[in-house]
Amino acid sequence: MAADCNIFDFSVEAELFPARTARHKRSAIRYKRFPHAADAIRFAVEELPPELLLGAFLEIDGERYGGEDIRRLYDSNDFPLSRCGAPQTQ
């Protein structure tokens, strides 16, 4: 699903489902619920290892946003939180 930043509501509750990889199979990084989508997006980009972000998805009111969508939302001018300078994905 393409993320349209102009109509995206960063204030709604969101669920983040990180990807599972063989390397991170036993990782403590699992499903997480956030009170605001902006918090989930910042966590996904700044805290998840890049390989987990690529296969991750954010779910908001039944809509799913993949890793690339999450990154676009984070990079958008509409993103309401400060950024930590997370590395760009290729």
Predicted confidence (pLDDT) per residue in 57-76, tens digit = 999 999 999 999 999 999 99
Total-model pTM: 0.79
In a domain, 35, yes or no: yes
pLDDT band at 1 (very low <50, low <70, confident <90, very high): very low
Number of structural domains the chain divides into: 1
43 occurs within a structural domain = yes
Residues 6+ apart with CB under 8 A from 11: 36, 37, 38, 80
Query: Is residue 6, in this structure, part of any structural domain at all?
Result: yes
Whether 11 is in a domain gets the answer yes
Percentage with pLDDT > 70 across the chain: 76
Question: Which residue range(s) make up the domain with 12?
Answer: 1-20+29-79
40-51 tens-digit pLDDT: 999 999 988 888
Distance, first Cα to last Cα, the chain: 19
